[in-house]
């Protein structure tokens, strides 16, 4: 009996630095069941190294906690943790977090039949330890070109967080206000006490977010999203 190789066996493995189109990237990624995170950025494959706790795992958890509380209080908004995003034919990142307005509530992205995000989410967030150069250069350019409205990069080693918003085709930094908050322009009530997040003081981070959620602007936003669903 002749054993013919399966399609999975015939496909070359993904390697860092491979230059592929999105279809070929997806075929090879899907065949590598042991790979948990690979991204296609400007036509180049990037594969993540093992993730350490204090430089990635814990900050990631804090970011997801902050965004998750906002999602729970804002019907029509959805949070994703490490979802694959089909931006364009040369870019398929897997960001640490996305916050999006659901399609039925007037959002910009759609979910494909195979359950992938297609298009640029309204907000994308990345934890940048060893990947800072990619996150602030090629990946930032791809998100900007595809219209991601806001982009957060938390540089853990540098103890720095940048939050960009899209204006006139370019990314501009959102300022830290006099009271220590950065306030989203796309998601009313999404307030971030930056210094407290960098210090790991999640009690104050969530307390500050609750202040944003209590504003009339957030209540109006929830009403607008609800009307879109009708």
pLDDT given for residue 220 in this prediction? 98
- What is the pTM (predicted TM-score) of this model? 0.88
β pairing state of 117-118 and 160-167:
unpaired
Nearest C-alpha neighbor of 187 from the set 222, 152, 230: 222
Q: Which residues of the chain have pLDDT under 50?
A: 1-8
Assigned CATH for 51-229: 3.90.1570.10
pLDDT given for residue 16 in this prediction? 83
Separation in Å, CA 229 to CA 39, 72, 76, 105, 188: 33, 17, 8, 5, 18
Copy the structure tokens of residue 41: 């950025």
Dump strand ranges (E) for 156-223.
160-167, 170-173, 181-183, 191-193
pLDDT given for residue 131 in this prediction? 59
pLDDT given for residue 51 in this prediction? 78
Nearest C-alpha neighbor of 191 from the set 163, 171, 220, 227: 163
pLDDT given for residue 136 in this prediction? 85
Domain-wise residue ranges, the chain = 51-229
Q: Could you read off the pLDDT of 152-198 as tens digits, one per residue?
A: 999 999 999 999 999 999 999 999 999 999 999 999 999 999 999 99
**Angle, CA 175 vertex, CA 173 and CA 179 arms, to 5°:** 160
CA distance 230 to 221: 15
Contact call for residues 173 and 161 (beta carbons, < 8 A): no
């Amino acid at each position: 009996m002749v054993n013919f190789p399966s399609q999975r066996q015939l496909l070359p493995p993904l390697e860092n630095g491979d230059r592929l189109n999105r279809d070929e990237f997806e075929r090879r990624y899907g065949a590598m069941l042991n790979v948990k995170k690979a991204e296609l950025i400007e036509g180049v494959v990037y594969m993540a190294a093992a993730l350490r706790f204090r430089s990635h795992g814990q900050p990631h958890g804090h970011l997801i906690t902050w965004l998750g509380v906002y999602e729970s209080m804002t019907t029509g908004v959805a949070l994703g943790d490490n979802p694959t995003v089909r931006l364009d034919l040369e870019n398929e990142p897997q960001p640490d977090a996305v916050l999006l307005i659901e399609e039925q509530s007037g959002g910009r992205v759609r979910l494909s039949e195979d359950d992938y995000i297609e298009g640029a989410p309204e907000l994308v967030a990345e934890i940048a330890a060893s990947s800072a150069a990619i996150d602030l250069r090629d990946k930032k350019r791809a998100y900007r070109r595809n219209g991601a409205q806001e982009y957060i990069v938390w540089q853990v080693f540098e103890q720095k967080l940048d939050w960009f918003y899209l204006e006139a085709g370019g990314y501009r930094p959102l300022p830290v206000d006099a009271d220590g908050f950065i306030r989203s322009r796309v998601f009313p009530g999404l307030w971030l006490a930056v210094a407290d997040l960098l210090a790991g003081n999640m009690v104050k981070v969530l307390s500050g977010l609750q202040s944003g959620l209590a504003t009339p602007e957030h209540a109006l936003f929830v009403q607008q999203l609800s009307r879109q669903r009708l």
